[in-house]
Structure 1
Amino acid sequence: MESPQRPALQSPPPGCPMHVGSTPLYGEAFSSDPGAVYDKLRAHGPAAPVELSPGVEATLVTSHEAALRVLQNPGLFARDSRRWAALNEGRVPLDSPVLPMMFYRPNCLFTDGAEHLRLRKAVTESLDRLNDNRLNRHVERIAGYLIDQFSALGRADLLNDYAKLLPLLLFNQLFGCPADIGDRLTRSMSALFDGLDVMQANEDLTSCLMDLVALKRRQPGDDITSWLIQHPAGLRDEELKDQLVMLMGAGVEPERNLIGNALLLLLSREGADGGALRIEDALDDVLWNNPPIANYATHFPMQDVEVGGVPMDAGSPVLISFAAANSDPVLTDARLTLSKGAHLAWGAGPHACPAKSPAQLIALSAIECLLNALPDVTLAAPAESLEWRPGPFQRGLVSLPVRFSPTAARTSAPAAGAGPVGPTGPAAWPPAASETPHQQAAAPAAGRAPGKQKGWWSSFLDVFRL
């Protein structure tokens, strides 16, 4: 591993006996076959040097045992990225696409010690106020609305038309977003996840969330934003905004990939008894073998340290490969006796995911709604031909094309418990036949000023007056 005191990418030339190159975790070679890359990295030991994007060096932990040692040792491995030596010394490109996932924000993902406990307590106690029945109703209502946008076509891209949009709209609901703020939030988060003008998307996200915080301070509601504001921790506006960023980032991208990866498995594989694979088993399989966040949980050693004989310099980023740790060869026999939840997809230690149960409920409900509405849905392309999105962190599909028997839309009337239907419904705003729903959401309608764009959230609210 290169010392962080040396300029990034300065290593002996390939072919030199002293050459120890960093393996890139970006590009088609990694996204198409990450398992082969993890096998190569294991040759270095329990951790190995990687390049997250051009000029961004890190160490990736691939061993299950070493991953737990890092995750469960906050006294030696900090999460505060202000310790990142190469970034502080100007050796990391400021336009790198991985920076939004790594630079410091005052939220419970990037803090340590007492500050982490204060912020995490506010988040966990606010999430604890979510009622499972209420959450399930929200998912069912949003799922039904999205399915109606393509059910009459007999074809869809379940990744971009469904799995991507459902958690975005759900978090608008859970945050208590009004129409305009919700549309801005959906657009900025979509741009961030898709790597489109990342700096501008981050500014837009900050702006709309600060507007939401200001609104909820004036007009609190029965939503996560208001609960965070009311929490005894007394979060400042900046802290509130960044807890919302953390919740949105941790809830939308992983959920999108969990739903998409499980749907792919369900539509391409039978169960052990030759029958249909159970949704719960598909979700468990994905969390073990294809976790939606494959590599993350960035830590920074507080001093020079060795893990399993691998040196890690103080202030250098150390990431956990949940995917590689779950497939660690030493677990081959142990997995037969490990519980279903023994995988590391939810992390471990003080920073373990605080929303494990809601996340699983959302995915289960979303998939149930889709399969119940479209019982004969099948893949429209061979599973092995589908593309995976490039990037070091996530494991998610580019698209998931399917076909099914066309059915009539069902959300012309609100779901049980919803308010009256507004003056405009799906018939007043259908996706054009030549465009998929996610293309409609991504671009302003012709002739309409950008500020007046009708987005997914405001269109949903037109149908369900919540």
Structure 2
Amino acid sequence: MHAGVSTPLYGEMFSADPGAVYDKLRANGPAAPVELAPGVDATLVTSHEAALRVLQNPGMFARDSRRWAALNEGRVPMDSPVLPMMFYRPNCLFTDGAEHLRLRKAVTESLDRLNDNRLNRHVERIAGYLIDQFSALGRADLLNDYAKLLPLLLFNQLFGCPADIGDRLTRSMSALFDGLDVIQANEELTSCLMDLVALKRRQPGDDITSWLIQHPAGLRDEELKDQLVMLMGAGVEPERNLIGNALLLLLSGEGGAGLRIEDALDDVLWNNPPIANYATHYPMQDLNLGGVPMDAGSPVVISFAAANSDPVLTDARLTLSKGAHLAWGAGPHACPAKSPAQLIALSAIECLLNALPDVTLAVPAESVEWRPGPFQRGLVSLPVRFSPVAARTAGPAVGADTAPAPAPAQAAAEQVQAYPQAAGPARAPQKKGWWSSFLDVFRV
């Protein structure tokens, strides 16, 4: 049971200044009671040392959310917006012991087959395609028109998705991340990934899905689907926020003036980590963590953001030491793809700044809006201006799918006069999805 009043990790006050909330919580000890969403209680670990104790002790703290006592007892609202991030799935995030090792080995050894040069080419091609959709307009929303879409399309590429499955995957993952009709989006996500697994069993390719199928772990179809969900979820959302947060820093005047992209990424990982609070663990028994009692089966959430701002790390933070921050986690569940993730963000930002060298924020940096919610630290939008540049590739074809696709530059340009300063570029309704439209331009 929690002692004292739980602090909400949602709403405008938290999203506007989470650092102040972490400081207040830290004053009460290494961990404190919080409310992730209405009716969803947890303990937030804010101390760097205590976070490592949890992350590095799987014998005391499990990741399997089937241990969640309040959920099992019906005390958690089933329509809670945080459940999609906390429900058990048989993948690397929610398993322990030998099962975790088996699944993680399949994932890490498949990811190890990614070639940096090939990955960089994929990012450059997708980045160029997305930039072409708004480059002639002179303004864009770099979050929703670029940082959000690039990792979605990249994972379609890495998974080896054909046009129709890729459109469904992009649509369902976008809906899940945006909290739109989560139940239907999850059903569509499951359906399209099972279709992808069946396709790759019949027609394997040079892609992550096929590599997972071929791995000696012998993953079943359901296991394959859930590893793909994990890879997509753990890759797309953090990547979107890493790119967006770094671009905000680079374009924010004094803070980003003359800053190298690599340094901007390090600054974000330290001071604005894309996943601020997550890595939910469940104590195996009643215990005490630094004087804070924790019940068996109660959610213990690691605040990577608060741990990184722990005063004991002041010197390491000032030098942006790469080895001390917890943005990539620690212990047996540490992120297995931090090198590819940094390469993707670096390449995406380089492509954008090279294509639009005079890009500037269209609104004051302090007025940008942050997405609400306890887990991510991500922008709602990132409006910018730049000198219009002609597109370098052909525009997307219009087809019969239902997902929105980029508007042709001419049609969008006609709407510039009505374009609000803080909004993304206006688009005429289109039928074809992003992935199939991309494939129409680049037959890969």
TM-score surpassing 0.5?
yes
Whether the 8 Å contact between 1:431 and 1:440 is mirrored in structure 2 is: no
| CA displacement, residues 339-392 of structure 1 (integer Å, 9 cap, x when unaligned) | 323210000000000000000000000000000000000000000001000000
- Check whether the contact 2:65–2:88 (CA below 8 A) recurs between aligned residues: yes
Distance 1:443 1:371, change over 3 A: closer
Q: Could you say if the C-alpha distance between residues 397 and 427 of structure 1 is closer, same or farther in structure 2, counting changes exceeding 3 Å? A: closer
Measure the CA separation in 2 of the matches of 1:323 and 1:445: 27
1:442 CA drift (Å) = 18
> Is the Cα contact below 8 Å between 1:270 and 1:277 reproduced in 2?
no
Give me the CA root mean square deviation: 4.6
Q: Verify: 1:220 aligned to 2:198, yes or no.
A: no
Q: What do the CA deviations read for 1:12-63 (whole angstroms, capped 9, x no partner)? A: xxxxxx9955100011010000001101111220000000011000000000
Q: Deviations over 1:77-119 (max 9, x none)?
A: 0000000000000000111110010010000110000000000
CA distance in 2, matches of 1:25, 1:301: 21
- Deviation at residue 336 of structure 1 after TM alignment: 5.0
Aligned to 1:41: 25
Deviation track 1:192-220 (CA, whole Å, cap 9, x = no partner) reads 00011111111111111011001100110
CA 1:161–1:439: 2 relative to 1, 3 Å: farther
Which range is displaced more, 342-351 or 262-271? 262-271
Contact kept in structure 1, 2:396 and 2:440, CA below 8 Å:
no
Shift, 1:335, TM fit = 3.8
TM-superposed CA distance for 1:431, in Å, is 4.4
Change (3 A) 1:338 1:30: closer
Partners of 1:255 and 1:465 lie apart in 2 by 25
Q: Give TM-score scaled by structure 2 length.
A: 0.92
| Unpaired stretches in structure 2, ≥5 consecutive residues | none
Give distance in 1, aligned partners of 2:247 and 2:423: 34
Shift of the alpha carbon at 1:269? 3.8
CA distance in 1, matches of 2:361, 2:378: 16
Query: 1: CA distance between counterparts of 2:99 and 2:206?
Result: 26
Per the alignment, in what secondary structure is the counterpart of residue 427 of structure 1?
coil
Cα contact 1:412–1:426 (8 A) shared by 2: no
Name the CA shift for 1:235/1:320 in 2 (closer, same or farther; >3 Å). Answer: same
Shift, 1:435, TM fit: 6.6
How far off is 1:413 after superposition? 10
Q: Does 1:443 align with 2:420?
A: yes
Q: 1:34 to 1:444 in 2, by over 3 A?
A: closer
Closer, same or farther: CA 64–416 of 1 in aligned 2, 3 Å: farther
Match of 1:310 in 2: 292
Provide the C-alpha distance between the structure 2 equivalents of 1:361 and 1:66, rounded to a whole number of angstroms.
Answer: 30
CA contact (8 A) 1:269 1:277 kept: no
Distance 1:451 1:58 in 2: 43
Change (3 A) 1:437 1:125: farther
Aligned identity (percent) is 91
Deviation at 1:188, TM superposition (A): 0.5
Q: 1:206 aligns to what?
A: 190
Residue 331 (structure 1) shift = 1.6
2: CA distance, partners of 1:348 / 1:439: 47
Partners of 1:436 and 1:240 lie apart in 2 by 43
Runs of 4+ in 1 over 4 A off after TM superposition: 18-21, 413-418, 424-428, 431-452
Matched, 1:81 2:65: yes
Aligned-partner Cα distance in 2 for 1:367–1:446? 20
Change in CA separation of 1:398 and 1:433 when aligned onto 2, cut-off 3 Å? farther
Find the residue that maps to 1:333 and give its secondary structure.
Answer: helix
1:11 is aligned to none
Give a deviation string over 1:313-340, Cα, whole Å, max 9, x none: 0000000000000000122235457732
Any residues of structure 2 matched to 1:67-466 within 5 Å, and which?
A: 67-270=51-254, 276-335=258-317, 339-412=321-394, 430-431=407-408, 454-466=432-444
- For 1:56-76, what per-residue CA distance to the aligned partner results, in whole angstroms no more than 9, with x for missing partners? 000000000000000000000
Inter-CA distance 59–439: structure 2 relative to 1 (3 Å threshold): farther
CA contact under 8 A between 1:325 and 1:344: conserved in structure 2? yes
Q: Structure 1 437/56 Cα, relative in aligned 2: closer, same or farther at 3 Å?
A: farther
In structure 2, the residue corresponding to 1:361 is in which secondary structure?
helix
* Cα 1:281/1:86, change in 2 over 3 Å: same
Change in Cα spacing, 1:414 to 1:35, as seen in structure 2 (3 Å) is: same
Q: CA deviation at 1:142?
A: 0.1
TM-score by length of 1: 0.88
Q: For the Cα contact (< 8 Å) 1:251–1:359, is it kept in 2?
A: yes
